[in-house]
Amino acid sequence: MANLLSYVLFLALRTFAAPPEWPGRSTSDPRDSGNDTVGPSLVPPPGTSKHAPHSIIIGVRKGGTRALLEMLDIHPGVAAAATEVHFFDWDENYAKGFEWYQDQMPYSYPNQITVEKTPGYFTSPVAPARIHAMNSSIRLLLILRDPTERVISDYTQVYFNRLENHKPVQAIENMLVKNGALNTRYKAIQRSLYDVHMRNWLQHFPLEQIHIVDGDTLIHDPLPELQRVERFLDLPPRIMASNFYFNQTKGFYCIRSDGQERCLHESKGRPHPPVNSTVLRQLRLYLRQHNRNFYRLIGRTFNWQ
């Protein structure tokens, strides 16, 4: 009995004497806090604090924002917010105030920059002014892909989400066409009118503060795009070709970092449904002029059909 009591006392003392354990990488690595959420019983690494983001990935939905954030998070100087905060585009969150917003950010070290991603900001009519009110000199990242392909990807995501939630679904042609004509009020099409949304942003920020990432190039050759982002954010070059490998099964690049390999969630890169060729041609034709308007706004072109 005496031995049993001694053993119980030993376990109790060891439990209460142990310091709180921080999940993830070793605390000697300044990237510890980049992807971890601190629960109420956990103590953040010494020397870290939460800050408003130095840069925000503002969109576009289904443009490659998750891939961009995951790849950028390879950099040891980046602390990435784990979830989409929707502070500037959702009134109910904006009403919670700036302190609430900052509390959603990850813990970071003084030599790190904080990056948040919410794709809904780009198409929000109120987000540009609200972000400008917080920080008029913030650097914004905008990743875009072929707007026609983005529409189909948008539909695909909603389609699978509805299937998973046992809700009825419609063929993509039924969404794209209404009363015999292209349904230009369809939200997926509205989100691909890059020129319309960009004009709103340029009313509040100079083009020099908005770095546009080519989402189609990022998928096929990620390193050059990420090196441009490093320069835009004044980060020292740390992301290398060895941080990526092509996954033949998934059909896109995955990440190799800290001795581990990881790919994007299985919901990313889903195959698109076939689209009626006449409907697809109508969609491309409608978006073509908007693409040209967008090119004039930003002073560059893309290989969009």
Mark the binding-site residues, compressed into ranges. Answer: 62-66, 145, 153, 253, 268-272
Question: Is the dihedral angle over the CA atoms 264, 167, 90, 136 positive or is it negative?
Answer: positive
Cα(145)–Cα(123) distance, integer angstroms: 15
From the candidates 62, 117, 178, 250, which is the catalytic residue? 62
Quick check: bond before 60 cis, omega within 30? yes
Cα(160)–Cα(84) distance, integer angstroms: 20
Which residues pair with residue 141 across a beta bridge? 57, 211
Binding residues for 3'-phosphoadenylyl sulfate: 62-66, 145, 153, 253, 268-272
Helix ranges, the chain (H)? 2-17, 65-72, 91-94, 98-103, 127-134, 147-164, 172-176, 187-191, 194-202, 215-220, 222-232, 277-298
Question: Is 50 noted as a catalytic residue in this protein?
Answer: no
Catalytic residues: 62
